[in-house]
Structure 1
Amino acid sequence: MKILTFFPEFIEKCYTNGLYIYISHFSRTLFGWIPFSFGDIIYTLVIIWIIIWFYKHRKENWKQKTIAALNFISVFYFFFNLLWALNYYRVPLYQKLNIKTDYTDEQLITFTKKLIAKTNEVHLQITKDSTKKVESPFAKDDVFKTALIGYKNLSDEYSYFKYEIPSQKKSLISYFLSYMGFGGYLNPFTNEAQVNSEIPMYAFPATLCHEMAHQIGFGSESECNFIGFMSATKNDNLYFKYAGYTFALRYCLNNIGFKNEKLYDDLKKTVHPGIFENYKESEAFHKAHETFVNTFFEAFYDNFLKLNQQKDGLQSYSKFVDILINYYKTKEL
């Protein structure tokens, strides 16, 4: 696996744009039509099987159990990479878009101001009142269908963002995902895009678009944030646009807040109060599910990302701001 990291062009050509297309299309054709998450059922059965196996072999020599466990992990890791995770090693998106990834504080501030204006505009179109939060009228199943429109519009501009054969699901383990701190995930073994059905509805479209980006072969969290933003904001539906803009705005404001608290407070005053009411909704949701379990999975996933070509770990999610700013240097939001 380490050797492969030195050959991103090979991965891009032979795996991402070759073998993976056939694997993902086969998986989505096989499981996409099922109205519930088949992957969640597989995970549940595997966990039960592991518990039973350890119970049955509890009296065996620890060396035998260790070897058996390593055998299982090896097979799991092999299929994890074969079926999806080799996409971690493909050519970075910023190179495909021919843009840089560094920016100045002035560029961040300028972009954030534009983003505030755009988010305020869409918010007012929906609510007609700057103080009201957005209440989504969507049923979650309708969100799945509408998300395809944004990807269609995006792929008309960039063919490598083309999304085919839908396989989007509400996770059957949403309750547990909430306590683990996950808004969604891609099951690499069934290629189902799973979304936590308990997250605030205004944010649901952006989370879904992020997971769909993983499905089309992007491993990097920052790249999937960018693609998710693009597909959401290019959607014809205002609620998708709002989900995308508020998602990006929060990251930009946080980046400014880390560097200049006074500037953050000044910019915050220019954002419609109703937008912050939606942010408070998300904060209340996460706070209600904050336990030691969440802390454990944050640490686990942080290290998992670092082992898979994302050296910044969980901080890599915010790195999509780098791509956003540079992409929109010459384009309108």
Structure 2
Amino acid sequence: MKKYLSLFLFVQVILINVLSLFPEVVERFYSNGLYLYLSKISRLLLGWIPFSVGDIFYIILILLVLRWLYKNRIGFLKNWKSNGLTILNFISILYFLFHFLWGLNYYRIPLHKKIGIEKEYTKEQLQNLTLKLIAETNHLQLQIEKLHYRKVVYNYSEQKMYEMALNGYANLPKPLSQIKYQHKSIKSSIFSLPLSYMGFGGYLNPFTNEAQVNNLKPKYTSPLTICHEMAHQTGIASESDCNFIGFIAASQNKDVYFKYSAYAFALNYCLYNLEVMEAGSSKTYKVFINKGVLENFNENRTFWKHYHSWIDTFFEYIYDTFLKMNQQKDGMESYSKFVGLLINYDLKHQIIHAN
């Protein structure tokens, strides 16, 4: 059995690489077929439980691995063949469950092709979008706090925001109407502190289909993070696509705080992309941004700086490699690539109106 399971791992790797050549097949039979039933069952079974079952699963898994290592510490290298097969079997089972329950979504048709937009953009187009986002973000900040120098403060509980996020997905515009969200399963992660040190605002547990949110980070960023992780639950694997869907869902929410989270998020990424194009170019635009908005940006920057260490650098490298191995050639930079989707979608549908 050990030999068969180990061999199955290599068979799986070959099958996944073959499937990656046929995104239409993955889209039809998995993403819009089997996955819809698997994710529905997972969220119906676990969504009502108030704590993260997936985090508990990881804790148990880690403890079992440590226990096995401890029990086999004596003569580990001497029994290398048996121990090696056990490790390969473990990896084989996890590899299968990951792809069967969620991971095959990495190989579906990219979102921009399905909605008929481009991803590339010019510097002028980025500058125009930045100005529109500044105007709308300033407008929303004043609508909430009344004074331009006050940062936006959220008094919602995390659970309240999890409930409110559904509204945005119910109001997605027609070009994105194929994206349906049903059966909520959104939870604060037990690992929020470790996630902070790792540099993650949230994650989707692919084995339980629970959207996990880091509840320690600044609250003004939470609505966008929640909507981003919900996009993963609908079967969208690409980080840039999830940022885009997360922005649309949060900005279409009836609640002004959700709208602010979306526009502040997009504006921050536009400023970042301007810097990538030309160092120092974002300074020209920051003078037009309300001080309260900049205070929120600084609040977020200070939070992540507090937890910055070799740990988040290490995990950023690991996740960057993981993304590149799963059809996202830009790795961690794919998060910022959603700006191209937003620019081209706005050019076609005029969803951002400068106030």
* TM class by smaller structure: over 0.9
Determine the structure 1 residue equivalent to 2:10.
none
- Quick one: distance in 2 between partners of 1:249 and 1:138? 23
Report how far residue 264 of structure 1 moved: 1.3
Determine the structure 1 residue equivalent to 2:267.
249
Alignment map for 1:265-284 (pairs within 5 Å): 265-284=283-302
| Corresponding letter in the other structure for 1:45 | I
The answer on 1:196 being equivalent to 2:214 is yes
| Corresponding letter in the other structure for 1:254 | Y
Equivalent residue in structure 2 for 1:15, among 23, 27, 30: 30
Determine the structure 2 residue equivalent to 1:168.
186
* C-alpha contact (below 8 Å) 1:155/1:162 kept by paired residues: no
> What secondary structure sits across from 2:49 in the alignment?
coil
* C-alpha contact (below 8 Å) 1:181/1:294 kept by paired residues: yes
- Quick one: distance in 2 between partners of 1:81 and 1:263? 42
Alignment map for 1:1-333 (pairs within 5 Å): 1-59=16-74, 60=76, 61-154=79-172, 158-330=176-348, 331-333=350-352
- Quick one: distance in 1 between partners of 2:39 and 2:157? 27
* C-alpha contact (below 8 Å) 1:147/1:235 kept by paired residues: yes
* C-alpha contact (below 8 Å) 1:155/1:161 kept by paired residues: no
- Quick one: distance in 2 between partners of 1:249 and 1:66? 49
- Quick one: distance in 2 between partners of 1:247 and 1:65? 47
- Quick one: distance in 2 between partners of 1:157 and 1:327? 10
- Quick one: distance in 1 between partners of 2:293 and 2:113? 34
Report how far residue 172 of structure 1 moved: 0.8
| Corresponding letter in the other structure for 2:36 | I
- Quick one: distance in 1 between partners of 2:199 and 2:283? 27
- Quick one: distance in 2 between partners of 1:265 and 1:45? 48
CA RMSD of aligned residues (A): 1.1
> What secondary structure sits across from 1:6 in the alignment?
coil
| Corresponding letter in the other structure for 1:51 | L
Gaps of 5+ in 1: none
| Corresponding letter in the other structure for 2:68 | W
Cα deviations by residue, 1:151-172 (Å, 9 ceiling, x for unpaired): 0001666332210000000001
TM-score normalized with structure 1 length? 0.98
| Corresponding letter in the other structure for 1:64 | S
Gaps of 5+ in 2: 1-15
- Quick one: distance in 2 between partners of 1:198 and 1:114? 30
- Quick one: distance in 2 between partners of 1:57 and 1:175? 31
Report how far residue 332 of structure 1 moved: 3.1
Cα deviations by residue, 1:128-149 (Å, 9 ceiling, x for unpaired): 1111100002111100010000
> What secondary structure sits across from 2:296 in the alignment?
helix
| Corresponding letter in the other structure for 1:57 | N
> What secondary structure sits across from 2:20 in the alignment?
helix
| Corresponding letter in the other structure for 2:212 | Q
* C-alpha contact (below 8 Å) 2:181/2:234 kept by paired residues: yes
| Corresponding letter in the other structure for 2:341 | I
